[in-house]
């Protein structure tokens, strides 16, 4: 897994990130979603490196083996702004002034926040299976609430979700059914399993969602109220066997007010595109990047 890539731990501000990087050429950062680690990209990253890119795959803060800072009342240590600052700090440490950023699921929120907050650094943006947080919350109806109820469950602090999840994390995260070694690949599955078995990681992952309903939403609202948009080329990809189109209609139309220079495509896949449809995903990424 990740042949010819370097595995490293790099300090960035108040956390140290576990990261794999390899290849040469234009740099691109790949950001995983929940509850994955950077190893979700095991089939995608080497193919991008072979296509002529420098590929950087971190565990985002809180996830996998990256640092897990103590939270606060507003959950700001787990805000997408904090995570995007980590991305910029990581690329500084690796010597890259500008880069493309690709994010899936929760990682898509980190990706677009990086483009929002650091437009001079991001050359191209790819978001996968996600819309801006404020769009999701403002458009929330019965269908979204039924399908994505875990957003509100994770946000609870009076009766913390961590206690429920950690009672049986392997069942909660379907580690032997839909997220089995056969589905994820044995080495990726082993890394995923180590992460979900760690109560500190589970706590950090739900902190990500708590930040999403508060501080992340406010940051989106501030960006929109200021009339700002992402100027760089952008692409949205979505799993056609997931529910993004069912909930939002055309994802490109949702994103266009935020990213005028955006294109979009559905990919024949279930939710985890990097694991379920790596060949088509790589083809789309190489063509765009």
Active-site residue set: 105, 271
- The tokens for 77 are 């240590």
Distance from C-alpha of 189 to C-alpha of 179, rounded to nearest angstrom? 8
Distance from C-alpha of 175 to C-alpha of 255, rounded to nearest angstrom? 33
Q: What is the DSSP string of the chain?
A: --TTPEEEEEEETTEEEEEEEEE-SSEEEEE--TT--GGGGTTTHHHHHHTT-EEEEEPPTTSTTS------TT-GGGSHHHHHHHHHHHHHHTT-SSEEEEEETHHHHHHHHHHHH-TTTEEEEEEES---HHHHHHT--HHHHHHSTHHHHHH-TTTTHHHHHHHSHHHHTTTTTTT-HHHH-HHHHHHHHHHHT-HHHHHHHHHHHHHHHTHHHHHHHHHHHTT----S-EEEEEETTSSHHHHHS-HHHHHTTT-SSEEEEEESS-S-HHHHSHHHHHHHHHHH-
Distance from C-alpha of 18 to C-alpha of 271, rounded to nearest angstrom? 24
């Amino acid at each position: 897994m990740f042949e010819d890539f370097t595995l490293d731990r790099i300090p960035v501000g108040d956390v140290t990130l576990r990261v794999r990087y390899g290849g040469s050429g234009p740099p691109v950062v790949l950001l995983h979603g929940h509850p994955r680690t950077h190893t979700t990209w095991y089939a995608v990253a080497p193919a991008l490196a072979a296509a002529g890119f420098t590929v950087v795959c971190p565990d985002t803060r809180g996830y996998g083996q990256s640092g897990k800072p103590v939270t606060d009342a507003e959950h700001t240590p787990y805000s997408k702004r904090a995570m995007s600052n980590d991305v910029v700090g990581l690329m500084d440490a690796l010597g890259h002034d500008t880069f493309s950023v690709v994010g899936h699921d929760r990682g898509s929120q980190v990706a677009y926040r990086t483009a929002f907050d650091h437009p001079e650094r991001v050359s191209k943006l790819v978001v996968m299976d996600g819309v801006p947080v404020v769009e999701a919350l403002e458009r929330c109806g019965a269908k979204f609430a039924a399908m994505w109820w875990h957003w509100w469950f994770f946000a609870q602090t009076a009766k913390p979700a961590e206690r429920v999840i950690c009672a049986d994390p392997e069942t909660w995260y379907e580690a032997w059914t839909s997220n089995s070694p056969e589905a994820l690949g044995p080495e990726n599955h082993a890394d995923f399993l180590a992460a979900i078995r760690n109560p500190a990681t589970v706590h950090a992952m739900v902190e990500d969602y708590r930040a999403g309903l508060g501080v992340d939403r406010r940051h989106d609202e501030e960006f929109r109220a200021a009339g700002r948009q992402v100027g760089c080329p952008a692409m949205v990809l979505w799993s056609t066997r997931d529910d993004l189109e069912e909930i939002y209609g055309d994802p490109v139309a949702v994103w266009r007010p935020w990213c005028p220079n955006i294109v979009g495509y559905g990919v024949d896949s279930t939710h985890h595109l990097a694991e379920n449809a790596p060949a088509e995903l790589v083809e789309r990424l190489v063509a765009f990047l």
